[in-house]
Amino acid sequence: MPQHLIVRGNDRKQIFFSEQDRLYFLRCLGETRAQRGCDIHAFVLMSNHVHILATPRAEHGASRMMQDLGRAYVTHVNKLHGRTGALYEGRFKSSLVETARYFLACMRYIETNPVRARMVSHPASYEWSSHGQNMTGQPSGLITPHPEYLSLGKGAVERAESYARLFDEPQGDEEISAIRQGARQGRAVGSERYCKELSTFLGKTVRFVPQGRPARCVPFYREKGL
C-alpha cells in the first residue's frame, strides 16, 4: 500500500544547509529504500521538510527506511555543521493512500509543493524533487514507477504527455485538504469502499470522517506494521 511520508525540521527550522546536504540525503534515501525494500515514486526536498511517496515491499519497510534515513542524515548534518540537538520534529508522519483515487493526486501534491510555497512558478523549475524524473515518462534511478503511473500511457512518450497534463491546472482545494489532513492526522486517504476494505483487512471497524471532503479513515493500519 502506498504511503505518504513527511519529516519536518524541529520547530519548523531548516534541515538542509547546503546543496551537499540535499545530495547526501538523496544518497541515503537511495541506500535505505534498497535495504528496507521500499519503492520510491515521488519526493520533494523543501528547506525545512521532506515529502516522500513510497510503497514498502516488506513488513515495517517504510518505518524502518525512515528511521535509518533519519539516523544517517542527522549524524551527517551534526558532524558536518558542528551542531547538536534535535534536527527533526519528532517521528515522521505517514498516511496510507488509495491507489486508484489518490495516488496520482498525491504525486502531484508532492511535486507542486515548491509552487505553493512560491519558490518557483512550475514544478519543473525546482531541482530537488522527483518531477524531472517522472516527466520523462520512464523514470529510473531513485524512482520506481508505480502501476498507476505506468497506466498513463503505453510508452514513455505517451506517459510523459499525460503526466505533464496533470500539472496544467492548479490542484483543487478539497483534494489538497484531504491529502494534508491525512498526513497530519495519520489518516488513510481514500474512498468509502477503500476504507471498508481496509477495515476488513485489519479486522477492525474504521471510522469515517468525511466532513464535506472525500472520505478519510482512522489509521488502524499501524497495528499491522504497514
CB-based contact 69:27 (threshold 8 Å): no
**CA pair distance 78, 74, nearest whole angstrom:** 6
Strand segments, DSSP code E, in the chain are 3-8, 38-45, 49-56, 93-96, 188-189, 216-217
Asked whether residue 87 carries a pLDDT value surpassing 70, the answer given is yes
**Residue 73's pLDDT is what?**
95
Mean pLDDT is lowest, of 96-100, 130-134, 135-139, 213-217, for: 213-217
Asked whether residue 146 carries a pLDDT value surpassing 80, the answer given is yes
Determine how many CB atoms are found less than 10 A away from the CB of residue 170.
10
**In DSSP terms, which residues pair with 143 in a beta bridge?**
40
Asked whether residue 63 carries a pLDDT value surpassing 60, the answer given is yes
pTM for the full predicted model: 0.88
Furthest-apart CA pair in the chain: how many Å?
Answer: 50
Asked whether residue 64 carries a pLDDT value surpassing 80, the answer given is yes
What does pLDDT average to over the chain? 87
CB-based contact 25:45 (threshold 8 Å): yes
CB-based contact 98:191 (threshold 8 Å): yes
First to last CA, the chain: 8
Orientation of helix 99-111 relative to helix 173-185, angle to 10°: 90
- Residue range 122-139, pLDDT digits in tens: 999 999 999 999 999 999
Q: In which band, very low, low, confident or very high, does the pLDDT at 25 lie, cut at 50, 70 and 90? A: very high
**CA pair distance 80, 37, nearest whole angstrom:** 29
Residue 207, all three cell numbers: 471510522
Asked whether residue 26 carries a pLDDT value surpassing 60, the answer given is yes
**CA pair distance 207, 4, nearest whole angstrom:** 20
